[in-house]
C-alpha cells in the first residue's frame, strides 16, 4: 500500500513496432491473469539499469517472443498515468529478422495490418501508438 501522498511508481518501457516483409505489424495479447489482462499490445518490456532503449527492446523481444529484430527509428514517446502507476512508453520501429514469434510471455501473437488494429482492444496508452503508426 502506498502512502497517501507518495508519488506513483514510474515504469520506463521499451516498445517495439515490429514490421515484417508483408507490411504487417506484430501484436500480442496480455495474459488474462495479469494487469490489463486479455488486452492486445505492442510487445516490449521494462528498461534495466545501464541498458539503452534499443538494447531493452531487442532483449525483451527475444525473451518474450523468441525472435530476432533490428531496432530502427524512434516513433513516439508516451507518458501515461494509470491509477496505480505511471508509464513512459518509448516506441521504436523494428524489423523482423528471424524466428517465428512464440507466445512465451503472453497468451497469443498475431501479424496484422494497420487497418486491422481497430479489431483488437488495446490499453489506452497503446491507442497513441496506433495513431502515430498511421501518421508515419
User: Was 20 annotated as part of a binding site?
Assistant: no
Residue 80 · residue 55 · CB < 8 Å: no
57, containing H or E segment:
helix 53-65
User: Was 126 annotated as part of a binding site?
Assistant: yes
User: Was 103 annotated as part of a binding site?
Assistant: no
State how far the alpha carbon of 89 is from the alpha carbons of 11, 12, 60, 117, 119, in Å: 8, 6, 14, 18, 22
User: Was 100 annotated as part of a binding site?
Assistant: no
User: Was 44 annotated as part of a binding site?
Assistant: yes
Chain centre to alpha carbon of residue 83: 19
User: Was 128 annotated as part of a binding site?
Assistant: no
Cell numbers placing 5? 501522498
User: Was 41 annotated as part of a binding site?
Assistant: yes
Annotated binding site for Mg(2+): 44, 64
Annotated binding site: 30, 41-44, 64, 126
Annotated binding site for 8-oxo-dGTP: 30, 41-44, 126
Amino acid at each position: 500500500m502506498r502512502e497517501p501522498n507518495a508519488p506513483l511508481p514510474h515504469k520506463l518501457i521499451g516498445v517495439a513496432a515490429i514490421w515484417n516483409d508483408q507490411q504487417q505489424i506484430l501484436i500480442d495479447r496480455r495474459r488474462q491473469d495479469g494487469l490489463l489482462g486479455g488486452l492486445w499490445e505492442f510487445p516490449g518490456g521494462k528498461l534495466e539499469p545501464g541498458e539503452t532503449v534499443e538494447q531493452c527492446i531487442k532483449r525483451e523481444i527475444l525473451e518474450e517472443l523468441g525472435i530476432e529484430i533490428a531496432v530502427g527509428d524512434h516513433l513516439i514517446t508516451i507518458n501515461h498515468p494509470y491509477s496505480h502507476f505511471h508509464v513512459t512508453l518509448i516506441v521504436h520501429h523494428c524489423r523482423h529478422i528471424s524466428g517465428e514469434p512464440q507466445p512465451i510471455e503472453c497468451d497469443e501473437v498475431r501479424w496484422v495490418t494497420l487497418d486491422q488494429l481497430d479489431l483488437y482492444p488495446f490499453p489506452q496508452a497503446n491507442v497513441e501508438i496506433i495513431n502515430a503508426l498511421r501518421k508515419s
